[in-house]
Amino acid sequence: MNTRTTGVGYLHCIVLLALIVSGWQPVDRQTWLIENVLVLVGAVAVWTTRKQFYWSRRSWIMVIGFLCLHEVGTHFTYPEVPYNSAVYLISGMDVNAAFGWERNQYDRFVHLAYGLLLSLPLREIVSEKCHLKGAWASLIAWSLVLSTSMLYELMEWAGAAYAGGGDSAFVGAQGDFWDAQKDMAVAAAGSLAVLICRGHALRDKVSALRGRLTPN
């Protein structure tokens, strides 16, 4: 077993540990189960395609970081994650008061993290499987973030309508009429920021390499 495989195995263990901890006496067992259906589907998909599947260690870390954030939300339920209390305990800062927030923003933060952390792993899949490079690979990766964000919001809507008895609290909207649109917007903005920064960083590396190869 090479170093890379060993490292990825350790990362998988982190996800398993996070899943076990989040499932230990969660605030709402039904919500925990529903929120982890996609995690289970994704794990099965990755396992069945493990011989053809490729991600760099950086991408694995980003995906697993996102999943750990998600598991925090599944344990407490997204509208009840006590991030404000945790930050206040550590630093004495009241985050909600500082930014004038009247709702729990953890769900919005995780949607932002979805764009920030999953764009590059999706781009790697596009580059590896579709043989696209440069701006085209970034555009497709951004489109995947947008489309999967939309699909998630549609599944939340269906869950609220049929499993949650029509209660908007089931999807953590917290009374915000534009909650779904805002969630998709922050995911799109996070994804776009990461992909643009990657493009600039790559361009700088190419320029630096050309500078070294150009004779004085």
pLDDT one-digit tens code per residue, 44-86: 887 787 777 678 888 999 999 999 999 999 999 898 999 999 9
pLDDT one-digit tens code per residue, 76-85: 989 899 999 9
The rounded mean pLDDT for the chain is 84
pLDDT at 8 over 60: yes
Domain boundaries, the chain: 3-213
Three-state SS for the chain is CCHHHHHHHHHHHHHHHHHHHHCCCCCCHHHHHHHCHHHHHHHHHHHHCCCCCCCCHHHHHHHHHHHHHHHHHHHHCHHHCCHHHHHHHHHCCCHHHHHCCCCCCHHHHHHHHHHHHHHHHHHHHHHHHHCCCHHHHHHHHHHHHHHHHHHHHHHHHHHHHHHCCCCHHHHCCCCCCCHHHHHHHHHHHHHHHHHHHHHHHHHHHHHHHHHHHCCC
pLDDT one-digit tens code per residue, 170-205: 566 677 778 889 999 999 999 999 999 987 665 655
Position 119 confidence tier, pLDDT thresholds 50, 70, 90:
very high
Given this model, what pLDDT does residue 178 score?
83
pLDDT one-digit tens code per residue, 83-107: 999 999 999 999 999 999 889 999 9
